[in-house]
Amino acid sequence: METRVTFLGTGTSQGVPLIACRCPVCLSDDPFDKRLRSSVMVETDGLSIVIDSGPDFRQQMLRVNAEKLDALIFTHEHKDHIAGMDDIRAFNYVNRKAVDIYATLQVQAALQREYQYIFSEFRYPGIPEINMHTIANNKDFMIGRVRITPIEVIHYKLPVLGFRINNFTYITDANYIANSEKEKIRGSKVLVLNALRKEKHISHFTLQEAIDLARELQVPEVYFTHISHQMGFHRVVNQSLPDGMHLAYDGLQVSVH
């Protein structure tokens, strides 16, 4: 089954450029150095599935001319991954249906705090309409005929979910993956993995750590995402990477068979 992946955003929590930063990367005119907050759209079997709706969600949907949204899956509850959920209202109106949301109970609790009005008994006109589905015990779940495999990773001390969809695996906000979870990734044809910067970080893989993990997992095509301005210029870093490994960039589309 063919899977088409569009990188809606490839930046870290503050995006690139950062507000008020005067570093060479933030001042770069190269569009490859402009990164919205990390998210991907996965299109397969006639479905349009988005992983994470950060604060740039509206801009991202407009940029790719999205006309439908069948499901929204959340990796975890940090603001740069959930802050745009209100804008699914547009899809409610255009597609004339509620949007299916998939999240752990921990993430659902954060959504209920952040979007109290969505979950209130009083249904204010025009609020987002959702169908909430629970990702429980990291078990596989189905969206239509598409099987989704959750992959638990650790983001400092916070459990975060990555997802495998067909031969595509998406991992963001991680600095540790247990061996049992790595086994879920093996056999993928394309892997997306977070790589924040070159220097050590408390809660994200460095570029070298991500390269080493990609080699260990032996996935033939690897794209790094959740990238900071501290990584350096996209074109320079990308040229230095091993064969089969790339820095992702906003708007990149990849077909996975």
Residues 6+ apart with CB under 8 A from 105: 134, 136
pLDDT tens digit sequence for 14-66 = 999 999 999 999 999 999 999 999 999 999 999 999 999 999 999 999 999 99
Does pTM top 0.95 for this prediction? yes
Torsion angle, CA of 170/173/176/182, rounded to 10 degrees?
-10
pLDDT tens digit sequence for 226-241 = 999 999 999 999 999 9
Which of 109-113, 123-127, 157-161, 196-200 is least confident? 123-127
What's residue 123's pLDDT?
83
The residue-averaged pLDDT of 212-217 equals: 98
The residue-averaged pLDDT of 63-76 equals: 98
pLDDT tens digit sequence for 88-105 = 999 999 999 999 999 999
What's residue 73's pLDDT?
98
Instruction: Give CA–CA dist 211/231, Å, rounded.
Output: 14
pLDDT exceeds 90 at position 1:
no
pLDDT exceeds 90 at position 122:
no
Instruction: Give CA–CA dist 206/147, Å, rounded.
Output: 30
What's residue 154's pLDDT?
98
What's residue 121's pLDDT?
87
The residue-averaged pLDDT of 206-227 equals: 98
The residue-averaged pLDDT of 111-131 equals: 93
pLDDT tens digit sequence for 239-253 = 999 999 999 999 999
The stretches of the chain forming alpha helices (DSSP H) are 57-63, 79-82, 89-95, 105-114, 116-119, 179-185, 207-217, 234-239
The residue-averaged pLDDT of 114-123 equals: 92
Domains of the chain, earliest start first: 3-256 (3.60.15.10)
pLDDT tens digit sequence for 139-198 = 999 999 999 999 999 999 999 999 999 999 999 999 999 999 999 999 999 999 999 999
The residue-averaged pLDDT of 121-137 equals: 93
What's residue 64's pLDDT?
98
Instruction: Give CA–CA dist 70/232, Å, rounded.
Output: 36
